[in-house]
Amino acid sequence: MKKQCFAAVDLGATSGRLMLAHVSESGVEMEEVCRFPNHLIQVGEHLHWDIYELYRQVVEGLKTIASQGVQLTSIGIDTWGCDFALLGKDGGLLRLPYAYRDPHTLHAAEAYFREFSREKTYAETGIQVMDFNSLFQFYTLRKNGDAAFAQAEKILFMPDALAYLLTGETVCEYTVATTAQIVDARRKCLSPEVLRSVGLTEDSFGRWVCPGTVVGPLTPALQKQTGLGAVPVVAVGGHDTASAVAAVPAKSSRFAYLSSGTWSLMGIETGRPLINADTERLNFTNEGGVCGSIRVLKNICGMWLLERCREKWPDIPYPDLIREAEGATAFRCLIFPDAPEFAMPDDMEAVIRAYCRKTAQAEPDSRAALVRCIFESLAMRYRQVLERLDSLSGEKAEALHIIGGGSRNDLLNQWTADSIGRPVVAGPSEATALGNVLLQCMAADPGLKLSALRSLLAESLPLKSFHPQTSQAAHWNTAYRRFEDLSSAERN
């Protein structure tokens, strides 16, 4: 593998960044070119994304790369899912994209399913129901007589919209399209039946592409503006989680992953979707993955629990909180992290204490006890979801790979290993940008296999392994039975 350089545009719901990767046979070296905020813009009662500002920041980053004399092989873009831009017949964007947090889709799923079958929609798409899924955004815009939606020539999901601004080419990338709940999960293409329900057709979207496909070169104007020349833009795992999972440094195919951050996403890779009454009841989703895979996963409330508590302790360093939690009494109290009351509380600490009272447990009597309660409860929830994934897939994952920012929490990683009774491999923390780069590598050299690139990461990255402590197994098993009792009344 010859040394090459790739630009990875990685956009989240609160910030974005442009990463420069140097790839060779010895591994991948990443450097941050720029980082910038991604602000929601409120106009009247609606929330929008400033796609032009995101575009401007990306272009400025590309100009910085060019000024360093770097010869780029390609550029890839990944973003959050569900949101989209509307393109007019003249090639211009019709307005700023709505943000998934916009209140216009409140109860939209409920309204949609009064007209169309919930069971058939899940059977077709395999996607969990959330009000902000693109399907329900389309439904809402149509019902509201939205002029931009009615006049749109093309609908471009966020990574595809930015790729369009860079290249002038309209595409519809598979992984991000699946988050919209409009893709036939088995055939891995847009579902004509689901699209008809909201007045759309396959022609409403750009050229269908899979990760690793070249979208096109930078426009002549951008070639001149950036100084980069005709660098191609590659469709990577357009949905950021798809790119993140591509960078799981697994040496075996029998692994589970946990993308750990404010929210946790736990899942497995499969060759086919898992869609049945059990997956629907347990609210598992089937999102498109790279290289023809399906990511069967579950959304879990993650470090959000601690982040909201930390609003009261702004001056306490994170390492100090972890150290305090380690010294607190084990299994004093547990919570079910995905209970509704933890979704958006004004005072997370008070809500946790109230939950413990409601469930006849001792309340956490200190900051350390509160943090320990959160970490132990998350470790229990990870075990519960992992065991359900084992049961649904018919195979037991040999190890759990934790990627993302949460992979740096050694204490929670060890407790997770103790809880699940299996090895945990932590890292990389920059999985999304790395996965973005790996897909670009495969586009540049079609002979490369993802398994080989994952092995390269496993050998070259500073990963940490955590193994279950047999001396703690009985304690965790006893506590898990308590956790199961707490969660038995929850839907999923």
Catalytic residue positions, numbered? 240
Q: Which residues pair with 296 in a beta bridge?
A: 268, 286
Write out the DSSP string of 283-307: T-EEEE-GGG-EEEEEEEE-THHHH
Provide the token pair at 125.
């798409």
How far apart CA 290 and CA 246 sit, in angstroms, is 7
- Whether 293 and 271 have beta carbons less than 8 Å apart is answered as yes
How far apart CA 167 and CA 220 sit, in angstroms, is 9
How far apart CA 217 and CA 273 sit, in angstroms, is 34
How far apart CA 259 and CA 246 sit, in angstroms, is 11
Among candidates 172, 174, 130, which has minimal Cα distance to 155? 172
Pairing of strands 171-173, 72-78: unpaired
Q: In terms of DSSP H, where are the helices of 105-167?
A: 108-112, 118-125, 134-143, 147-151, 158-167
How far apart CA 381 and CA 376 sit, in angstroms, is 9
How far apart CA 214 and CA 236 sit, in angstroms, is 9
Write out the DSSP string of 33-79: EEEEE--EEEETTEEEE-HHHHHHHHHHHHHHHHHTT--EEEEEEEB
Phi, psi of 146 (to 5 degrees): -60, 125
Phi, psi of 175 (to 5 degrees): -65, -40
Amino acid occupying residue 263 = W
How far apart CA 213 and CA 208 sit, in angstroms, is 10
Residues 6+ apart with CB under 8 A from 293: 269, 270, 271
Strand stretches in 271-419, DSSP E: 285-288, 294-301, 399-403
